Amino acid sequence: MITNTIKLITILLISSTGFLSAQTKPWKKGILVDEFIYDSAPFPEAHSATIVETPKGLVAAFFGGTKERNPDVCIWVSRHENGKWTAPQNVANGIMPDKRYPTWNPVLYQIPNGELMLFYKIGASPGTWHGWLRTSKDHGLTWSEARALPEGYLGPVKNKPVLLSNGNLFCPTSTEGNKGPNSWLIHFEVTPDFGKTWRKIGPLKADSGINAIQPSILDHGNGKLQILARSRNRAVIQSWSYDNGETWEPLSKTNLPNNNSGTDAVTMQDGRFALVYNHVLPPGDLAKGPRTPLNLSISKNGKKWYAAAILEDSPISQYSYPSIIQTKDGLLHVIYTWRRLKIKHAVIDPSEVKLKKIKKGLWPKLKGYTAPVATEITND
């Protein structure tokens, strides 16, 4: 539980540094910060952000360039210093001996009492990309030379690794094949020594027709793990393990909708779980739907979910590819794509949100709130 003192300090810091306070609207309760990572940048588009807490503060990374898949797309890093985000710093590109390729999907991980890891991908497309890694000894200020992961390894594909009690760093990852039954596959890449040696687990079996990628890991304790993942099946997909991730149940649908867009989740300090995602059921029988609104839900057991907050609800898509962490002060931090134009950061006090049960996959109605009507469906 966050003490009143910590809350007061946080609020004072937010006020003194000019952060944008959340609007007093339904579903905004508990949102303390609502801000852009940068106002201007040397690239027109940005996407796929990741955030981590280091001993020196928050660090964020994302890819930016002319447009996704363009060879000029690079990995950029911003650090939170003295109450402000630093200007994006170009830390990785896709220049290879034969040609230049785009970079993709950075994922940050802070080794306890160690270096900061930056995983990312280089390649013409998700079906052909390769995993790369850089590390930082000064909390994201400078970076090592890039090194390729072993052949066939990608590192965490979108969402953060989880360090298990047995010392294994579990990286949730996936591959994207052509359209068709089970052409998207989820697996795990496991390292006991923070990237020196690796092994694979999976791919996971799935119920017939399920196509899922980009899992996030929830740790229930005593070797019990859960994943939640993006899908083409109009639902958030799940699987469970009871032996620290060595074996998994077949992938199956949850009762939460998915619009074929990325999600992320985190195990909270009080044992609950937080999920950030687009609570959107695509129209008709389509697999894709608008990437708005962007929602936060909380659960005690990973099965029954309660609506907590709506971070974005404009009918203008898209708000997508979130990354969520809980910092040592107990606050939730979410970073996400804002209309492909910028990267946005929100801070939520989980003790202040008002929870409403999600029944039959429907976001609950709240007096004074009208859900937006969005029709744009993205093609990525």
- Tens of pLDDT, residue by residue over 38-83, are 999 999 999 999 999 999 999 999 999 999 999 999 999 999 999 9
**Over the chain, what is the mean pLDDT?**
92
Distance CA 150, CA 199 (A): 10
Tokens representing residue 63 in the block: 């890819």
Closest among 260, 297, 312, 306 to 281, alpha carbons compared: 260
- Considering the entire predicted model, what is its pTM? 0.92
Q: Which residues contact 310 (CB under 8 A, 6 or more apart)?
A: 27, 28, 293, 294, 295, 296
DSSP label of 16: H
- Asked whether the predicted pLDDT for residue 24 surpasses 90, the reply is no
The pairing of beta strand 57-65 with beta strand 45-54: antiparallel
The pairing of beta strand 89-92 with beta strand 332-338: unpaired
pLDDT at 375: 66
The pairing of beta strand 305-312 with beta strand 252-253: unpaired
Q: Are 233 and 212 in contact (CB under 8 A)?
A: yes
Torsions phi, psi of 19, nearest 5? -65, 155
Label residue 14 by pLDDT band (50, 70, 90): very low
pLDDT at 13: 38
Tokens representing residue 141 in the block: 């200020």
Q: Are 307 and 364 in contact (CB under 8 A)?
A: yes
Label residue 275 by pLDDT band (50, 70, 90): very high
Label residue 208 by pLDDT band (50, 70, 90): confident
- The per-residue pLDDT for range 328-365, each reduced to its tens digit, is 999 999 999 999 999 999 999 999 999 999 999 999 99
pLDDT at 20: 39
Torsions phi, psi of 203, nearest 5? -70, 155
| Average pLDDT of span 321-331 | 98
Label residue 369 by pLDDT band (50, 70, 90): confident
pLDDT at 180: 63
Label residue 19 by pLDDT band (50, 70, 90): very low
| Average pLDDT of span 110-139 | 97
Distance CA 109, CA 191 (A): 13
Between residues 83 and 2, the one the model is more confident about: 83
Closest among 128, 119, 238 to 169, alpha carbons compared: 119
Amino acid at 195: G
- Asked whether the predicted pLDDT for residue 215 surpasses 80, the reply is yes
Percent of the chain with pLDDT over 70: 91
